[in-house]
Chain A
Amino acid sequence: MLTILLILFSINTYSQCVSNQSFTMIPAGPYQPGDVVTVNYTLGNFNGIFINWIHAFEINLCPAWINLTPITAPLNPAGSAGSWVWDIQHTFVGGLNFGPGWRFDNTGNVDWGTASTGPFTMSFTVEVGPTCTSDNLCVSVLVIDDCTTGGWTGGGGACCVDPAYNIYNGVVQIPPIITSNINHY
């Protein structure tokens, strides 16, 4: 009985509003300095609690990555009026510091997200920066609802608490430098 309760609690905690997330990375890792990787990410469904709407996709990168570039923004199937915009940094009305990533700019109800439940597919490229050490190359995507951003307060403060979706956790591959012996003409 306790086990069942724990499992239910776990599901409720870690898959609260988002489901069916997937990704591809082209090319596949591991990666060396200078490699440019295209990341495609899809969120299959978003079903908010207390009418929370999806508001943003934040891309979290370890510092070893550089040159994050958006390629394809999410669509907004059956969603609210507005569009997804790319932000390097944005401070939401509730004070949440966001970025980089895509944020829904609701043109009907400013500060709300979109009523769309997905699917949402987006892509971006990112490059492995110059380094001499095996730095972490983490990539994750955090889905943020408009309760968390402070745009929607009608739910009584019950916001989605989905963890960031982990896409990659490798480290930079440093090619060995092999110097020949010194020779004398």
Chain B
Amino acid sequence: MKKLLTVLLVCFGLATYGQTTINPDTVCVNATGEQYFVTNTPTSTYNWTVTGGGGTLQTGQGTDLITVDWGGVSGLYLNAIGVVESNAAGCPGLPVLLDIFVLDLSSNVIGPFCPGDPSATLVGNPAGGVWAGTGVTGNNFDPSTAGVGNYVLTYSMAGCNTTINVIVNNGPVTGPIQHF
């Protein structure tokens, strides 16, 4: 029982405090309500700044947790988020900064296809993401595997997604050769 309680407490602790964000942090273009936080000291106040990336601070100024909406221009923004903690006496600490990479995914257009067409290569930008969907194997779409239909293929990276629609049409149905 004691061991179980210890495990539960450790798991709770990891879930509550164990999150660590690697610098730079990656967000999707036009992301909204992104939450950023520091470990809270109850008697402290926190002055946040959001600069670059089209970011705007939405809620939480003065507290240990804020929400930010990001803009639509991809790129790396140095020191995009900063926070200065002040203790109960109003004494400021050193600023803590975080770089932000605003990620904008895109991909090539493929199709429409007919059954039996050869596989087509899926190209996501930037490279390094993962494709998923019916008929997808690695970075290829196989119309024969997918079969006739409309499909949504998803390209994902660092929590961001983009999709393309792919159509595999019916082939012409040719009757038997007749002899007049």
| B10 sits at the interface (CB 8 A) | no
User: A184–B35 Cα gap in the complex (Å)?
Assistant: 6
| Interface pair B87/A175, CB less than 8 Å apart | yes
| A1 sits at the interface (CB 8 A) | no
Interface residues of B in 23-41 (CB under 8 A from A): 23, 25, 27, 34-39
Q: Which residue of A lies closest to B85 (CB)?
A: A179
Q: Which residue of A lies closest to B68 (CB)?
A: A184
User: A175–B98 Cα gap in the complex (Å)?
Assistant: 25
* Candidate in A34, A174, A180 with the most chain B CB atoms within 10 angstroms: A180
User: A55–B87 Cα gap in the complex (Å)?
Assistant: 44
Total interface residues on B, CB under 8 Å, equals: 28
A183-B19, A183-B38, A184-B34 known; A178-B87 Cβ under 8 A: no
Bitwise, B17-60 to A at CB < 8 A (1) or not (0) is: 00111010101000000111111000010000000000000000
User: A183–B81 Cα gap in the complex (Å)?
Assistant: 11
- At the interface with chain A, which of B89-97, B106-114, B149-157, B160-168? B89-97
| A182 sits at the interface (CB 8 A) | yes
| Interface pair A132/B89, CB less than 8 Å apart | yes
Bitwise, A117-138 to B at CB < 8 A (1) or not (0) is: 0000000000000111000000
* Candidate in B37, B84, B86 with the most chain A CB atoms within 10 angstroms: B37
Interface residues of B in 52-104 (CB under 8 A from A): 81, 83-87, 89-94, 96-98
User: A183–B20 Cα gap in the complex (Å)?
Assistant: 6
Determine how close the nearest CB of chain B comes to the CB of A27; give it in whole angstroms. Answer: 19
B81 cross-chain contacts in A, Cβ below 8 A: 182
Partner of A184, one of B36, B39, B90, B94: B36
User: A132–B87 Cα gap in the complex (Å)?
Assistant: 9
Q: Which residue of B lies closest to A178 (CB)?
A: B93
| Interface pair A179/B83, CB less than 8 Å apart | yes
Determine how close the nearest CB of chain A comes to the CB of B126; give it in whole angstroms. Answer: 20
A132-B90, A174-B91, A177-B92 known; A185-B83 Cβ under 8 A: no
User: A177–B41 Cα gap in the complex (Å)?
Assistant: 10
Partner of B19, one of A131, A175, A178, A185: A185
Interface residues of A in 149-183 (CB under 8 A from B): 174-183
User: A75–B83 Cα gap in the complex (Å)?
Assistant: 56
Q: Which residue of B lies closest to A177 (CB)?
A: B93
Task: Show 25 A/B contacts (Cβ-Cβ < 8 Å), sorted by A.
Answer: A130-B89, A130-B90, A131-B91, A132-B91, A132-B92, A174-B91, A177-B44, A177-B85, A177-B86, A179-B39, A179-B83, A179-B85, A179-B96, A181-B20, A181-B38, A182-B37, A182-B83, A182-B96, A182-B97, A183-B36, A184-B35, A185-B19, A185-B35, A185-B36, A185-B37
- Given A180-B38, A185-B34: 15 more A-B contacts, CB < 8 Å: A130-B89, A132-B89, A177-B85, A177-B93, A177-B94, A179-B83, A179-B93, A179-B94, A182-B37, A182-B83, A182-B98, A183-B21, A184-B25, A184-B34, A184-B35
